Amino acid sequence: MPTSVSVADAIDRLARDPLRNIVALKHLLAYPKHVSVHQVSDARRAAMLVTLDASVSAYDRETYPYARVVAFIVSDHPSLTAALMPHIPGDCGIVFKLSQETDLSPIAAQFPIERRTAFVSFTSAGRYKPDCHAAITQAPSDSAFDLFERQGHHRGWLEPLLIDGKAFACALVRSGEALSACFAFENYGPVWEVGGVVTAASHRRKGLAARVVRTALAELARRGRAPRYQVEETNDASIRLARSVGLAPFLTIVHYEHQCW
């Protein structure tokens, strides 16, 4: 029978393989008061279900307005996944975020679902040389923040992370204007995500984005952090960028939606 698990115990277990479990870990850390965790196991295997109140996630509120619950599953076998199903509410909209295709069958047996999108995570253990013109900073300029804002990365979210040392920005700046920028922030412990890659419209197609990303990757390597670069499957340009700087995919999270009318 599945048992309830504390957030701290769930993090301890998932942290044994932080890259594989980074999406669940990220949400457990971000929303500890808005998640429930259940686990089931046999002699050799285990499965964990993390359910999140969708209303606390800005992305899920906007993308899946009918969803009340976001469900993450980390499972060693489909039979264990099936055993977790009673702990998912059946009277509301649900978004399942799955890292394994084998979890799909036991879920589909209980819930009518439709595939919506997928996100691919890239990483690398390679060495990178920082660009001498790209600056690593905890206090990006207003023009860099403006670039981030245009992508939906609000200053009110990013700036506290920068101040606390849980993020840094990388920018190519000329005459006080940020031409291209990105930032990196802590997902969990050693895993940091590179995101917010953006170039001013008048300076695109010059390879500037690759330069700031390589510099951010070099800084993460210097700090002994494992990089993560997440891309929606439809974003061909960002996927090309990831591959061009030597990143390789290691995880795909597929979103399936159950709408309860």
Are 115 and 140 contained in the same domain?
no
Check which CATH number belongs to the domain holding 193 and give it. 3.40.630.30
Q: Rounded distance, CA 4 to CA 224, Å? A: 34
Structure tokens at 21: 């479990």
Within-domain flag for 113? yes
Tokens 């399936």 -> residue: 256
Within-domain flag for 127? no
Q: Rounded distance, CA 144 to CA 141, Å? A: 5
Within-domain flag for 170? yes
- Tell how far CA 13 is from the center of its chain: 19
Within-domain flag for 59? yes
Which residues span the domain enclosing 88?
3-120+253-258
Structure tokens at 106: 């036991």
State pLDDT tens for residues 134-153: 999 999 999 999 999 998 89
Are 174 and 241 contained in the same domain?
yes
Residue type, 8: A
Question: In the predicted model, what is the mean pLDDT of residues 108-129?
Answer: 94
Are 145 and 183 contained in the same domain?
yes
Q: How many domains does the chain have?
A: 2
Confidence of residue 1 (pLDDT cuts 50, 70, 90): low
Cβ neighbours for 123, distance < 8 A, ≥ 6 positions apart: 19, 226, 227, 228, 229, 247, 248, 250
Are 172 and 71 contained in the same domain?
no
Within-domain flag for 125? no
State pLDDT tens for residues 80-108: 999 999 999 988 999 999 999 999 999 99
Confidence of residue 61 (pLDDT cuts 50, 70, 90): very high
From residue 17, alpha-carbon distances to 26, 71, 98, 128 in Å are 13, 19, 16, 24
Within-domain flag for 88? yes
